[in-house]
Amino acid sequence: MPHYINTFYKTIHFPAGLGYISEALNQANIENKVFDMLLGYSEEDLMKRIAEYKPDLIGVSMMTFGYLYNYNLFKKIKAGFRDIPIALGGPHISSLRHKVMQESAEIDYGIIGEGEDTIVELCQDKLPVSNIKGLLYRENGNIAYTGDRVWIDDLDRISFPRFSNFEFNKYDGGIPLSTSRGCPYACIFCTIYLAIGKKMRMRSAKSVVDEIGYWHNRGYKTFGVADDNFSASFERVSEICKEIKKRGLKGLTFTCGNGLRADRVNLSLLKEMREAGFKYISFGVESANEHILKVIKKGEDIRAIENAIKDACDAGICVTLFFLLGSPGETKEDLQKSVDLSLRYPVYDSRFYNIVPYPGTELFEWIKKNNYFVRDPVEYLNSGSAWVANPIFFTPELSLKERQKLYFKLNRKLKNHTLKVKRSVHMEQVKQKLMQLGLPHWFSWIIARLYYTRLVQVRLFNSNLVHDSRMWFNKAVFVRTRIKS
């Protein structure tokens, strides 16, 4: 089942979630190894690694995209290693729960929500499984659930990932930082609250900068903030920036790729963030129309969004804007307003995505109720991506054919605008690196200008997309439940 990846960058990021699981096992003195098929491994490599390591448990982190590929792979694992239980965690099982266990008989345990405490208790074997909260399991041919585990309020007590059981040097793209959990908002297309809850919980500034300092001392200075609501607290973000400055952690680069909420930043905070090293941030704008924002229950108004974009650009931060294509009630005119919004500011990038209805969301149920699907959910969840031009459903306002045309038209219209900004930014980066090597300013500028031709731009930012089935089954932790000496 194909998944679409960028073939030029080939960036393979550290899986932060599995990093936390592995670290929790380490802290409990439970031996474990991580196997990541994204690093170029085949199914045969996976089977060989299981045979060599002989784990007592195979834990898999899984998203909903490509779930049938995983189900089939679980069958192959069980065929070769019948007595090794499989524990499944991640968004797919947390969102759909019993349904997943019913669809895949090879899954022995389902870990719901936050998995650090649940998997440790399962591996320690001190409690009967019926007493381990947050656990789906099989009993006498039935699927039982122990009940939801209370969300972890004190995130500081969880050790941040050191990735000691990973093939560390095969990853790139920076160290992931997960500094908060939970989402109190109600966007109709989002499944985040199903996986990590609505209750907002945040690590302290000291805890976050302790993690940054740990990696800085090891020579790593590029970080990707993985939070869905990093700036939920103005005060905490400001404290993080001040603590970075206080400790003298210099040369840092932070990206916020998941998108900040526009109503949770201001110019003062953005300037403070830029000084601390936040050079790239994203805003999930979704739409530049008030009525569409209300329909999708974004909880923001367009004035706050415009102010945030302007302030971030004024603060010297490279800004990416994310828009959705095909929200309920959206028209061509609405989409044009979103394009106009992007063109008003010197943003680094703007992208339109066909909105993807995930099972368990309000959007999914709305489409199903109105019979608007043009692709079967089983099919698109196992063969597509948010990048794909073919829509999954239509609306009375936008037909399937119109959606297909608009996908290309809107992204093409924005491309030329953002390429000019990207060209300026990357030329400056090349120039600065050359100057650091001792070359004079004027010579560095000439080389940067010659290097960063339009041909290079197109290759960098518009490379072809290909598919690779390994993307579907990409993260597993092999656990030996015996305690390390």
CATH at residue 306: 3.80.30.20
| CA distance linking residue 410 with residue 407, whole number of Å | 6
Q: What is the chain's length? A: 485
Which of 374-383, 426-435, 458-467 is most confident? Answer: 374-383
Does residue 466 fall inside a structural domain?
no
**Pairwise CA distance, residues 197 & 112, whole Å:** 11
Task: Mean pLDDT check: name the lowest of 19-28, 146-155, 412-421.
Answer: 412-421
Beta partners for residue 136, in sequence order: 110, 145
What's the rounded mean pLDDT across residues 398-423? 80
Identify whether residues 330 and 384 lie together within a single domain: yes
* Domain of 249, in residue numbers: 174-425
In angstroms, the first-to-last Cα distance of the chain is 42
User: Do 187 and 148 have their domain in common?
Assistant: no
Q: Give the range among 39-43, 217-221, 287-291 with minimum mean pLDDT.
A: 39-43
CA distances to 58, 229, 267 from 262, in Å: 40, 10, 11
Q: Among residues 428, 472, 346, 442, which one has the least CA distance to residue 43? A: 472
- Tell whether 436 is covered by a domain: no
Q: How confident is the model at residue 394 (pLDDT cuts 50, 70, 90)?
A: very high
CATH code where residue 50 lies: 3.40.50.280
158 belongs to a structural domain: no
Q: If pLDDT is split at 50, 70 and 90, which confidence band does 485 have?
A: very low
As a whole number of angstroms, the distance between CA 367 and CA 485 comes to 55
Range of weakest confidence among 34-48, 87-101, 311-325, 415-429: 415-429
* Range name among 62-71, 226-235, 325-334, 423-432 with the lowest pLDDT average: 423-432
Question: Are 378 and 340 members of one domain?
Answer: yes
Residue with the bigger pLDDT between 475 and 112: it is 112
Neighbours of 396 (CB within 10 A): 10
pLDDT at 469: 45
Candidate from 17-21, 54-58, 407-411, 441-445 with smallest mean pLDDT: 441-445
In tens, the pLDDT along 154-168 reads 999 999 999 999 999
Distance, in Å, from the CA atom of 315 to the CA atom of 346, rounded to the nearest integer, reads 12
User: Residue range 70-78: average pLDDT?
Assistant: 96
Please report where in the chains the tokens 């982190």 appear, as a residue: 61
Taking the C-alpha atoms of residue 278 and residue 121, their distance in angstroms, rounded to an integer, is 38
Compute the distance between CA of residue 278 and CA of residue 271 in angstroms, rounded to an integer.
9
Does one domain contain both 220 and 314?
A: yes
Same structural domain for residues 194 and 249?
A: yes
Range name among 73-87, 177-191, 347-361 with the lowest pLDDT average: 347-361
Tell me the C-alpha distance between 404 and 314, whole Å: 35
Residue type, 412: R
As a whole number, the mean pLDDT across the chain is 87
Q: Is residue 454 pLDDT above 60, yes or no?
A: no
pLDDT at position 248 is: 97
Structure token pair of residue 7? 């073939």
Residue 347 CA to residue 421 CA, distance in Å, equals: 7
CA angle (55, 125, 104) in 5-degree steps: 60
pLDDT at site 431: 67
Q: Per-residue pLDDT tens for 227-273?
A: 999 999 999 999 999 999 999 999 999 999 888 999 999 999 999 99
Considering the domain architecture, whether residues 272 and 359 belong to the same structural domain is answered as: yes
Confidence label for 443 from pLDDT (cuts 50, 70 and 90): confident
In DSSP terms, which residues pair with 263 in a beta bridge?
none
Place of tokens 């792979």: 73
**Alpha-carbon distance 420 to 449, whole Å?**
13
Task: Note the pTM of the prediction, 2 decimals.
Answer: 0.87
Q: Write out the H or E segment, with its range, that includes residue 135.
A: strand 135-139
| Phi then psi dihedrals of residue 279, to 5 deg | -100, -25
- Give percent of the chain above pLDDT 70: 86
| pLDDT score of 459 | 45
Residue 108 lies in a domain: yes
